[in-house]
Amino acid sequence: MCDMTSAVCSLLFDDETEESKKLIGEAAKASVHAMDKIILEKGMCGNKKKLTKRMFSAAVKASAKVLANALEVTADEENSQKELVQDTKSTEDYSPELQKMITEMNKTAIQHNYVYPPKPKPGDILIPTGGLAKCQCSPGCAMELMEPAYQVIDGEKKSRWVPDNDDELNTILNDVFKIKNKAAARVYIKERCLK
C-alpha cells in the first residue's frame, strides 16, 4: 500500500519545497485512509485487479482533495498552519481539514457483519471443499470468511452411505462390474448401499 500511496502522491505533488512535502504527507495519510475504507467495505476477497483499481482511484481522489483544500487555503491560514506544525513536532498529527475529511470517510464506511456457518455436531464428518467459507448473513452474500469451507455429513447420513466392512464393499463392487446395464447397476447400488 505504501508504494501505491507514494505513486499517487508523486503524480499530484511537487516534492521540492517544504510545503509540498507536508502536502505529500497529508495526501499519503488521506490515500491510506481511503484505501482502508475500500477494504472495510469490500473486503480482501474477489477480483484483486478490480480491488486494486478501486483502491488506486480512492487514493487519487483523496490526494486530489487534499491538494484542492491546500490551494483554497489563504495566506493567513497557511501561516497559522505553519505555526501549528512548528508547535507540534509529531509527524502523526493531522491537519484540521484532513481530520475532518477522515471522519467523514469513516462515517460513510459500511461495516460488514460476518455470520459464520453453524458449528458441526460431534460425530459429523467434515469434507474440505477447497477455498474459504462464505458469510451466512444473507443468501446472496459473497464475502469470504478467514476459515476453510467444509461440507458436513452428519452421522445419520454416514451410516447410509458407507458399507459395514471391506468384504461387503468388495461384494458390491464385484456385483456392479458384472451388471452391463447402467440403469440396473444404479438400482442395485441404491438397494445395497442406501439402507
How far is 105 from 123, CA to CA, in rounded Å? 48
- Kindly give the residue spans of alpha helices, DSSP state H, lying in the chain: 2-12, 18-42, 48-72, 75-87, 96-108, 155-161, 166-178, 182-193
How many C-beta neighbours within 10 Å does residue 84 have?
A: 12
CB 105 within 8 A of CB 38: no
Which residue is listed with cell 499530484?
Answer: 12
1 by DSSP, 3-state: which? Answer: coil
Domain boundaries, the chain: 2-108, 113-155, 163-193
pLDDT higher than 50, residue 62: yes
Highest mean predicted confidence (pLDDT) among 76-80, 107-111, 157-161, 184-188: 107-111
End-to-end CA distance of the chain: 58
- Residue 101 CB contacts under 8 Å (≥ 6 apart), including other chains: 30, 62, 65, 66, 69
Q: Which amino acid is at 66?
A: V
How far is 144 from 132, CA to CA, in rounded Å? 6
pLDDT higher than 70, residue 5: no
Listed range (28-32, 84-88, 94-98) with the worst mean pLDDT: 84-88
pLDDT higher than 80, residue 105: yes
- Kindly give the residue spans of alpha helices, DSSP state H, lying in 88-136: 96-108
Indicate the pLDDT class of residue 29, thresholds 50, 70 and 90. Answer: confident
Phi, psi for 151 (deg, rounded to 5): -100, 130
- Residue 94 CB contacts under 8 Å (≥ 6 apart), including other chains: 26, 29, 102
Angle at alpha carbon of residue 40, lines to 35 and 41, rounded to 5°? 100
For residue 43, the 8-state DSSP code is: -
Predicted pLDDT of residue 13 = 54
| Neighbouring C-alpha atoms within 13 Å toward the C-beta of 90 | 4
Predicted pLDDT of residue 91 = 45
